[in-house]
Amino acid sequence: MTETIYSGIDVSNWQGTIDFNKVKNDGIWVVYMKASEGTSYTDARFEENYRNAKAAGLFVGAYHYMTASNAALARRQAEFFSKKLAGKSMDCPPAMDYENLDALTDTQIHESGLAFLERLQSLTGVTPVIYTNLSNARRLSSRFSKYPLWQAQYGVSSPSSVPYFDTWAGWQYSNTGRVGGISGNVDLDRFKARLILKQTPPLSEPQIYTVKAGDTLTAIARRFSTTVSELVRLNHIKNPDLIYVGQKLKIR
């Protein structure tokens, strides 16, 4: 059985003020937001983003930019991150943003990364997610394989395979996306249902997408993990090659 995939974004203070109602109306289901970095930095927009994304009815997750080069510091960062999550109702597992690895040895990567993940899981009771790019993911050992992988890889039709991981749970496929409610570029993602901790959205009720200049049914179907034939059927489209800017499409 094919696993449901949800359209998503990930954001931080760099996106400025976000209108999450417009984000949702543009077909986004999931938003991961930066919460913290190191042992003392809190993203300036985290509380605002959390509050407004939840109010808009989006599935919300948070990530921490992990910078430790040893296990002791990694545990301290996990503790700092977990405090930022305290009292919040997260819909997705907490994520370790693990991308600043060029200066680390493989031993440092393994010891610090695992220390962070293990400490975070013990504090939150939830198995965390690893976010990283393809080259970094291929430096991870088999001991990381029990954690879901959120993989950044652009310009491909699907993420490349990574040793020890049977599949991807999240895929960041663009860092130049445009979404309603956000000024400028934003990271675009696809998230599998396994990353939704709580009840899935009522897929029996269709989403509504407004056609934009340059859209095609093929591109829209790909974005929402559906098919052109399903869009044609659901919207009673007579000519699949003819859609209009401003046209409202139902999407399941």
Residue numbers annotated as active site: 10, 99
| CA–CA gap between residue 226 and residue 114 (Å, rounded) | 36
Grouping H, G, I as helix, E, B as strand and the rest as coil, residue 88 is coil
Helix (H, G, I), strand (E, B) or coil at 223: helix
Secondary structure percentages of the chain, helix, strand, coil, to 5: 30, 25, 45
Using the CB atoms, write b or e for 164-197: b if 16+ within 10 Å: ebeebbbbbbeeebebebbeeebbbbbbbeebbe
Report the chain's C-alpha Rg in angstroms. Answer: 19
CA distance linking residue 210 with residue 25, whole number of Å: 8
